[in-house]
Amino acid sequence: MATLSSPGIGTGFKVTETVQSLVAAEREPFDKKKLAAENKLTEQISGLGKLKSALSDLDDTIFDLKLPTTFSKRQVDYSSDFFTAEAGSAASVSSYDVQVNKVAAGQKVTTGPIDASAAIGSGTLEIRSLGLNKGFSIAVEAGQTINDIAAQINGSSANFGVTASVVKGDSGSYLTLSSNQTGDNSVLSLNVTDSDGFLHDDSGLSQLAFSYGETRSNQTFNAGESFAVGSFDISNGTDTATISVLAGETIEQVVDKINAAGINVTASLEDDNAGGFKLVYQSSNDYGNHQVAITSADASMSKLLKSHEYANFTENTAASKAQITLNGSIVVTSETNTFENAVAGLSLEVKKAHDATASDNIKINLDKGSTEEAVKKFVESYNEMFAVVAELTQVNEDGTAGQLVGDSTIRTMMNQLRGALGGIVTIDKFSTQSLASIGIKTERDGTLSLNEATLTKQLNSNFEQFGALFAGDEGIGKALSNVVSEYKGIGGIVESKIKSATSSIDRINEERTDFDERMGRYEARLFSQFTTMDLLVSQLQATGDYLTAQLDALSGINKKK
């Protein structure tokens, strides 16, 4: 007898539908229970996220409240096109007259005309800063031009702020060097090691030698060259000496007399690589007081005459320091255009010089406005946080409820916050302060209100106490910060609850997976049982049909007899 391979075919019994209905009935309570739990946890996570966000916003505001500098700011009142000013908490309440005498500038120097297509020579070029006491060197190879040198200077990783550029003019190209520093920090020197061995021959790399203290005569002298009787004056900045020359004295003797003059000038005769010598002067005075010049009324001294000028470069912009005069008599100098220490807590940035008799006034006052703004911002921020808490914990008239209704965490947190808000802070042994005393009141609904008239009165009479009230060791700002940080911080109570709820959802998903596997086995078992039953019933039906047919056949035989 053949067996049936499709459930229900033999008997017409709906095995598949029956199994599916039984499985669905089995899993419906489980699914409903787990979905309800998951939805509740999801709502809790969402609510906790809103709470954490609101606490973070409040914490940002509280952060300023616990800083003493929030309540010691200064307001600077001035009107000037010649400087800008800022005052910190160290600045005393006062006023100052400020006259800008000079602004700081960076040195800029330019060579004479040079053929940009011609090789400049070879050797080593070291660029140094006087004030920074640092420098860097570049190697100049044979065949390189001033464009190559400019590129090397600008590309050096050790460059401390020197910009090289080549300007093309009618008479040739000019190498310009400028510093991004000011004052002495911008004073440059270019020390050359020329491969040809000569530094004063007006050729090769020595064409780029430069030092603020070094100048030289344009005249060429011969060894042993002598002079007629006469005298000349040599000056080095503000120092001057008169030197007498006797008939027949040589250039070497004149050099010795210059060196013995006691005005910080060293003179020397340097080989010009053409059979003669250049008279070179080196001033050891500070920059700005270093200009060497020689004057004389005697014709016999004409070859020695010189004004202050550099041999290879022109100083387009002299390095200068900034200088101001405070209150008409106190002169202050700065390497830069910023004055940080002239007045404690006051920073000045000068922009341009006043006329000789002009000045501008600066008034420094307590910045009560910023403190008032900080207090108002705190009240607003607290009320915004409170509105989020109310939304999360209230039960509405339509029966809907907030995502964290009944959560004991919020009740505990709000009790702690209210405790911090109601704190009384000891200012000194004679006085105390509280939020209520400066006009902040907790309303019946839990929000904060601010009496601005009371706040203004306290700012005018007890401004110095606001720092202790909010930012002192026992201040309200720190007390509030401790509570908020406990709940919203990394690893805090709110984050821990979010992690716990997330873990619970993960467990629900694991339970669903286990349940799905169990239901799969249950469904397979039902199919097996019903299929076996269906097959057995089908076989019984077939047997019954056979017996019926046999009986019918016997009945027919009997009738014939």
pLDDT in tens, 399-410: 677 777 878 888
Rounded Cα gap, residues 428 and 472, in angstroms: 12
496 Cβ contact list (under 8 Å, min separation 6): none
Tell me whether residue 87 is in a domain: yes
More confident: 529 or 334: 334
Tell me whether residue 539 is in a domain: no
pLDDT score, position 391:
83
User: 3-state DSSP helix/strand/coil percent for the chain, to nearest 5?
Assistant: 40, 25, 30
The three-state secondary structure class of 132 is coil
Task: Say whether pLDDT at 87 is over 60.
Answer: yes
Task: Say whether pLDDT at 438 is over 80.
Answer: yes
Residues 339 and 392 in one domain: no
Q: Which of 454, 472, 497 is the last residue of a domain?
A: 497
As given in the structure block, the two tokens for residue 494 are 């709110």
Residues 460 and 381 in one domain: yes
Rounded Cα gap, residues 509 and 516, in angstroms: 10
pLDDT score, position 561:
55
Q: pLDDT band at residue 48, thresholds of 50, 70 and 90? A: confident
pLDDT score, position 504:
85
Give Cα separations from 496 to 52, 121, 188, 403, 492 (angstroms). Answer: 11, 74, 62, 17, 6
Q: pLDDT band at residue 1, thresholds of 50, 70 and 90? A: very low
Q: Contact 204/121 with Cβ under 8 angstroms? A: yes
Q: pLDDT band at residue 145, thresholds of 50, 70 and 90? A: very high
Long-range contacts of 499-508 (CB under 8 A, 24+ apart): 501/41, 501/44, 501/45, 501/48, 502/41, 502/45, 504/37, 504/41, 505/38, 505/41, 505/42, 505/45, 508/34, 508/37, 508/38, 508/41
Give Cα separations from 119 to 204, 238, 314, 448 (angstroms). Answer: 8, 41, 22, 80
Task: Say whether pLDDT at 2 is over 50.
Answer: no
Percent of the chain with pLDDT over 70: 96
pLDDT score, position 557:
65
For the stretch 466-495, pLDDT in tens is 999 999 988 999 999 999 988 887 778 888
Tell me whether residue 466 is in a domain: yes
Q: For the purposes of burial, counting CB atoms within 10 Å of the CB of 169, is it exposed (0-12), middle (13-18) or buried (19 or more)?
A: exposed
Q: Is the pTM for the entire model greater than 0.75?
A: no
Q: pLDDT band at residue 12, thresholds of 50, 70 and 90? A: low
Task: Say whether pLDDT at 4 is over 50.
Answer: no
Residues 480 and 381 in one domain: yes
Question: What length is written for the chain?
Answer: 561
Strand order in the sheet with 214-221: 214-221, 277-283, 265-271
Tell me whether residue 257 is in a domain: no
Q: Which of 343, 366, 389 is the last residue of a domain?
A: 366
**Tokens 């902040």, residue located:** 440
114 Cβ contact list (under 8 Å, min separation 6): 120, 146, 172, 173, 174, 175, 207
pLDDT score, position 560:
58
Q: Contact 97/326 with Cβ under 8 angstroms? A: yes
Among 177-186, 271-280, 350-359, 528-537, the least confident range: 528-537
Task: Say whether pLDDT at 559 is over 70.
Answer: no
Tell me whether residue 142 is in a domain: yes
What sign does the CA torsion over 468, 472, 478, 479 have?
Answer: negative
- Residue 162: strand pairing partners: 179
pLDDT score, position 11:
61
Residues 90 and 128 in one domain: no
**Mean pLDDT score across all residues of the chain:** 90
pLDDT (mean) for 281-286: 96
Task: Say whether pLDDT at 148 is over 50.
Answer: yes
Task: Say whether pLDDT at 40 is over 70.
Answer: yes
More confident: 399 or 511: 511
pLDDT score, position 399:
67
Domains of the chain: total = 3
CA angle 517, 521, 526 (to 5 degrees): 145
Residues 373 and 461 in one domain: yes
Residues 380 and 460 in one domain: yes
One-letter amino acid at 177 equals L
Rounded Cα gap, residues 213 and 448, in angstroms: 71
pLDDT (mean) for 89-115: 95
Rounded Cα gap, residues 348 and 461, in angstroms: 30
Q: pLDDT band at residue 542, thresholds of 50, 70 and 90? A: confident
Q: pLDDT band at residue 267, thresholds of 50, 70 and 90? A: very high
Tell me whether residue 129 is in a domain: yes
The CA-to-CA distance between both ends of the chain, in Å, stands at 33
Residues 328 and 424 in one domain: no
For the stretch 318-353, pLDDT in tens is 999 999 999 999 999 999 999 998 999 999 999 999
CA angle 324, 330, 331 (to 5 degrees): 40
As given in the structure block, the two tokens for residue 155 are 């590309």
Tell me whether residue 531 is in a domain: no
Residues 472 and 426 in one domain: yes
Question: Tell me, what DSSP letter sits at residue 366?
Answer: E
Task: Say whether pLDDT at 556 is over 70.
Answer: no
Task: Say whether pLDDT at 552 is over 50.
Answer: yes
Give Cα separations from 139 to 37, 63, 108, 174 (angstroms). Answer: 77, 55, 23, 20
Q: Contact 378/61 with Cβ under 8 angstroms? A: yes
Domain hosting 117: range is 109-176+189-210
For the stretch 187-237, pLDDT in tens is 999 999 999 999 888 889 999 999 999 999 889 999 999 999 999 999 999
The three-state secondary structure class of 554 is helix
pLDDT score, position 331:
97
Rounded Cα gap, residues 229 and 101, in angstroms: 46
More confident: 46 or 354: 354
Phi first, then psi: what are they for 372, rounded to 5°?
-60, -40
Residues 345 and 439 in one domain: no
Residues 94 and 133 in one domain: no
CA angle 271, 277, 281 (to 5 degrees): 95
One-letter amino acid at 218 equals N
Question: Tell me, what DSSP letter sits at residue 465?
Answer: G
Q: Which of 340, 366, 392 is the last residue of a domain?
A: 366
Q: Contact 264/285 with Cβ under 8 angstroms? A: yes
Residues 379 and 429 in one domain: yes
Task: Say whether pLDDT at 384 is over 80.
Answer: yes
Tell me whether residue 258 is in a domain: no
Q: Could you tell me which of 401, 324, 311 has the C-alpha nearest to residue 112? A: 311
Q: Could you tell me which of 495, 344, 318 has the C-alpha nearest to residue 409? A: 495
Residues 385 and 442 in one domain: yes
398 Cβ contact list (under 8 Å, min separation 6): none
Question: Tell me, what DSSP letter sits at residue 3?
Answer: P
